[in-house]
Amino acid sequence: MIEAFTDVVPSFFGTLNRGPMTLTIFLHTVIILPMFFLYYSEKKKQKQGDHED
């Protein structure tokens, strides 16, 4: 499942690229995870009556 490193130059991204879609999953996760934080902090603000805009 984990493939041998084949690219010309070893690098962090090249290493992540060895597993099945691991590089993409990593990148998408780091982008999407903080959105949970944004969601809950918005919910908290609205509960406190801060309705913005």
Footprint on this chain of other proteins (rule: CB under 8 A): 4, 6-9, 11-14, 16-17, 21, 23-24, 27-28, 30-31, 34-35, 38-39, 42-43, 45-47, 49, 51-53
Instruction: For the CB of residue 5, give the shortest distance to other proteins in the complex, in Å.
Output: 9
Q: Which of 15, 24, 19, 14 shows the shortest CA–CA distance to 3? A: 19
Residue bearing tokens 């690219």: 7
Complex with other proteins: residue 2 or 12, whichever CB lies closer = 12
Instruction: For the CB of residue 1, give the shortest distance to other proteins in the complex, in Å.
Output: 15
